[in-house]
Amino acid sequence: MMWNNEREALTDSGKKALQSEALKGLVKRAYDKIPFYTEKFDELGLKPAHISSIEDIVKLPFTNKTDLRDNYPFGMFAVPMSEVVETHTSSGTTGKPVIGGYTKKDIDLWSEVMARCLTLSGTTSSDVVHNAYGYGLFTGGLGVHYGARRIGATVIPVSGGNTKRQVMIMQDFGSTILTCTPSYTLYLAEVGEEMGIDFKRLPLRAGNFGAEPWSNNMRIEIENRLGLLALDIYGLTEIIGPGVGNECEQKTGVHLCDDHFYPEIINPDTGEVLPPGEVGELVITTLTKEATPLIRYRTRDITALKPGKCACGRTSMRMERIMGRTDDMLIIRGVNVFPSQIEEVLVRIEGTEPHYRIVIDRVGSLDVLEVLVEMNEKMISDEIKELEQVELKIKSEIESLLGIKVGVKLVEPKTITRSEGKAKRVFDKRTL
């Protein structure tokens, strides 16, 4: 079932016409209303009239995260504050946060795309949505909230934290859809299991998990432990928050709402646009957003696009699971390493829990990478020799995947900090 048949299953020519029209409008609004774009266009000798179809998008300049920072707080707003009804920010652990503004129409748009995403996991008006994404400046909580409301489902705005109480509510209210980060899902599972809850006997049926990178093996772990269908949801504050796209039950990539968010993949070093299937940095243009529209925004997220009709009937552009961000790619002794590659290995290993930490340090002039993995309760009673074998197995699997030497250490159960929102797993001591 689709939320919006007309928009999610467009023909190629229908989609192109829609995107072209929207792009023309966007370029005009950005040029007229946002001094940053007026200047950029003028520098390039570019006028809105030079853009007549979606294919002309390559003529347009990129927008970077630093451009948003330079124009903090409201310099990138295309409408007067009297038309802005809501603002959100990214968590931005360093420096000033990035701000997204929303007009009434933008909130409508957010509700629409989030309704599509929740419908992708099978949510209907009869469902009870347990929304454990944080409410507040973070986009996760309210984004899911608006979408669930648009569908007419019952939303439990439980937000993050107080995990035991969450499990109780989930049980008593009969939650059927779970929305939170994948790492928090595992924490919920762990706490619930300690409370003696069998998740498979609860009415929970599916979940939209995202806001942080996670691997397919992590998905399998979550599905097995909670007895639900676990689908990937993607989004970012700059573009709208959650709702940029979501997987369907085919699990063949994230369906992007490409009538509103136009995706491209570029080579992050050269800016060259790459053909479908090639891995690079995702660039998104917000075709219809009013308050904070962005032209060719460089997301720093690494993925590849998959065009073509999906078995679910949708023709919206799909993208591969996010492999990492250009800014969380680790360079260890010259080799590019994404934390998600290490997670893929860890989640498959018997006797360990999907809680881990990656520590990078520099000893002399050499980078050293160490992976700490939690063993489970069963493992802890095993012989030292067996523990060593597990460590060796993990070590050799990671080494053969990455081609560099790593250290692996099993640590006691429950010693790695659990997260209620986005997990922090990488500790790079080289830059501290």
Residues near Zn ion (CB under 5 A): 248, 250, 310, 312, 314
Q: Which is nearer to ligand ADP, 237 or 352 (CB)?
A: 237
| Alpha-carbon distances, residue 22 vs 15, 51, 259 (angstroms) | 11, 11, 9
301 interacts with ligand ADP by CB under 6 A: yes
Binding piece for ligand ADP, criterion CB under 6 A, among 105-113, 210-218, 266-274, 346-354: 210-218
Q: How far is the CB of 387 from ligand ADP (least distance, A)?
A: 32
Residue 343, interface with ligand ADP (CB under 6 A)?
Answer: no
Q: In three state form, how does the secondary structure of 233-265 look? A: EEEECCCCEEEEEEECCCCCCEEECCCCEEEEE
User: Of 97 and 351, which CB lies nearer to ligand ADP in the complex structure?
Assistant: 97
Do the strands 86-89 and 99-102 form a parallel or antiparallel pair, or are they unpaired?
antiparallel
Extract the tokens encoding 323.
């492999």
Instruction: Of 177, 187, 137, 182, give the one whose Cα is nearest residue 156.
Output: 177
Closer by beta carbon to ligand ADP, 77 or else 234: 234
Q: Which is nearer to Zn ion, 177 or 248 (CB)?
A: 248
CA nearest to 371, candidates 350, 351, 341, 327? 341
DSSP 97: P
Binding ligand ADP (rule: CB under 6 A), the pick from 90, 119, 123, 131 is 90
- State which residue, 76 or 167, has the beta carbon closest to ligand ADP: 76
Which residues lie below 8 Å from residue 209, measured CB to CB, with a gap of 6+? 178, 179, 180, 181, 182, 185, 222, 230, 231, 232, 233
Contact call for residue 322 and ligand ADP (CB under 6 A) = yes
Q: Does 92 bind ligand ADP (CB under 6 A)?
A: yes
CB of 293 to ligand ADP, least distance (A): 16
Q: Considering CB distances under 5 to 8 angstroms, the limit depending on partner class, which of Zn ion, ligand ADP, none binds residue 408?
A: none
Among 8, 112, 221, 232, binds ligand ADP (CB under 6 A): 232
Report, in Å, the least distance between residue 384 CB and ligand ADP.
37
- Quote the crossing angle between the two packed helices 139-151 and 104-120, to the nearest 10°: 80
Contact flag: residue 133 with ligand ADP (CB under 6 A): no
Q: Which of ligand ADP, Zn ion, none sits in contact with 213, Cβ below 5 to 8 A by type?
A: ligand ADP
Q: 128 with 153: CB under 8 angstroms?
A: yes
Between CA 353 and CA 130 the distance in angstroms is: 25
List 117, 211, 218, 229, residue binding ligand ADP (CB under 6 A): 211
Which residue of 213, 253, 351, 354 would you call a contact of ligand ADP, by CB under 6 A?
213
Q: Which is nearer to ligand ADP, 213 or 253 (CB)?
A: 213
Backbone angles phi, psi at 272, to 5 degrees: -70, 140
**Among 250, 259, 234, 239, CA closest to 8:** 259
194: which DSSP letter?
H
* Contacts of range 81-87, beta carbons closer than 8 Å, 24 or more positions apart: 83/290, 83/291, 84/291, 86/142
Binding mask of the shown chain, residues 236 to 265, with x at each position contacting ligand ADP by CB under 6 A: xx----------------------------
**233/347 with CB nearer Zn ion:** 233
Q: Which is nearer to ligand ADP, 90 or 185 (CB)?
A: 90
Q: Which one, 8 or 281, has the nearer CB to Zn ion?
A: 8
Closer to ligand ADP by CB, 24 or 145: give it.
Answer: 145
Q: How many other C-beta atoms can be found within 10 angstroms of the C-beta atom of residue 98?
A: 20
Do strands 280-286 and 261-266 pair parallel, antiparallel, or not at all (unpaired)?
Answer: antiparallel
Q: In sequence order, which ranges of 82-203 are alpha helices (DSSP H)? A: 104-120, 139-151, 163-173, 182-194
The Cα–Cα gap between 259 and 144 comes to 20
- Give me the least distance between CB of 140 and ligand ADP, in Å please: 7
For the CB of residue 253, give the shortest distance to Zn ion in the complex, in Å: 8
**Of ligand ADP, Zn ion, none, which one does residue 234 interact with (CB within 5 to 8 Å by kind)?**
ligand ADP
Give the footprint of ligand ADP on this chain (CB under 6 A).
90-92, 210-213, 232-237, 299, 301, 322, 325
